[in-house]
Chain A
């Protein structure tokens, strides 16, 4: 009996500790909230699925990758904020086009059981400078979409979960929206 009580208490303690150590998105700053407010008002209007990067540009005011990371983490943990997050997933809304292209190359390599491409290969195939590729890798890693793996070859990253290797349909990480400009409207992403 006593042993069972101790086991139960230990289980409860572990559950509390696990919940306490799980990453939680920090509350948004007022400046970041402006971007989210813009997105919530924009999403679903004229089939808009505008990404955070474009919204930051439209709202203006020197947003940093840290702001985008905070907003990405927030929508990942709060799908109740808008249906667009629930339908398309947070990833295609959080990543910028460069990151999606980098993720696509890494995902394809892993799917086809090839070593990860090198920085030079990524830079060459995406037509982007190595520093932009490195920035993309950094953000993908922070968001848990890729993880470091010295055995992966090339840039030494693998996808962070199996779902990113075999992912089809509109909500996949590498899905590129059409960035359009309609006369009289602000730029928007659509599918």
Chain B
């Protein structure tokens, strides 16, 4: 996974070091992307279910303006995001291998390798992602 230090919507900066050693679900989303918004409750569930087992969700917000713009959108749409969310940029998207459409989600292994990329919304996506997370978590660190 690329290394980065990005502005956190929760305040301060967020370093990619914070997810080192964890299985991470990195979600590139935009505040105007309805399918991305629809997935947030599921990411919250995953965070709640596996957060204590060496897993985290990380939201990277792109093409949505400045942090203040994003915070205002989150507030307006009453989005209850329960995982770290940062303000992304073209550079980090490119370093992940490019984000051609939304939503684009990456699953990252404990040793920082990109395990899989999920693009768009499709049937059984959530089931597939959860199975992949369980598989990665069951592997010995």
Residues of chain A touching chain B, judged by Cβ–Cβ distance below 8 Å, are 83, 86-88, 163, 166-171
Contact = CB atoms under 8 A, between A and B. Distances in A.
A83 B68 CA distance: 10
A177 to B, nearest CB: 14
Interface residues of B, number: 13
B63 A170 contact: yes
B64 A87 contact: yes
A87 B30 CA distance: 9
Given A163-B90, A166-B94, A168-B93, A83 B65 contact: yes
B66 interface: yes
Contacts of B90: 163, 167, 169, 171
Nearest to B94: A166
Contact of B63 (A87, A163, A166): A87
A168 B65 contact: no
A83 B69 contact: yes
Decide if the interface of chain A is mainly helix, strand, loop or mixed: loop
B77 to A, nearest CB: 15
A170 B90 CA distance: 11
Q: Which of A88, A163, A168, A169 has the most CB of B within 10 A?
A: A169
Interface string B41-84: 00000000000000000000011111001000000000000000
14 contacts: A87-B64, A88-B63, A163-B90, A166-B94, A166-B98, A168-B93, A168-B94, A168-B98, A168-B99, A168-B100, A169-B90, A169-B93, A169-B99, A170-B63
A86 B69 contact: yes
B69 A169 contact: no
Contacts of A167: 90
Contacts of B63: 87-88, 169-171
Nearest to B65: A86
Given A168-B98, A169-B100, A87 B65 contact: yes
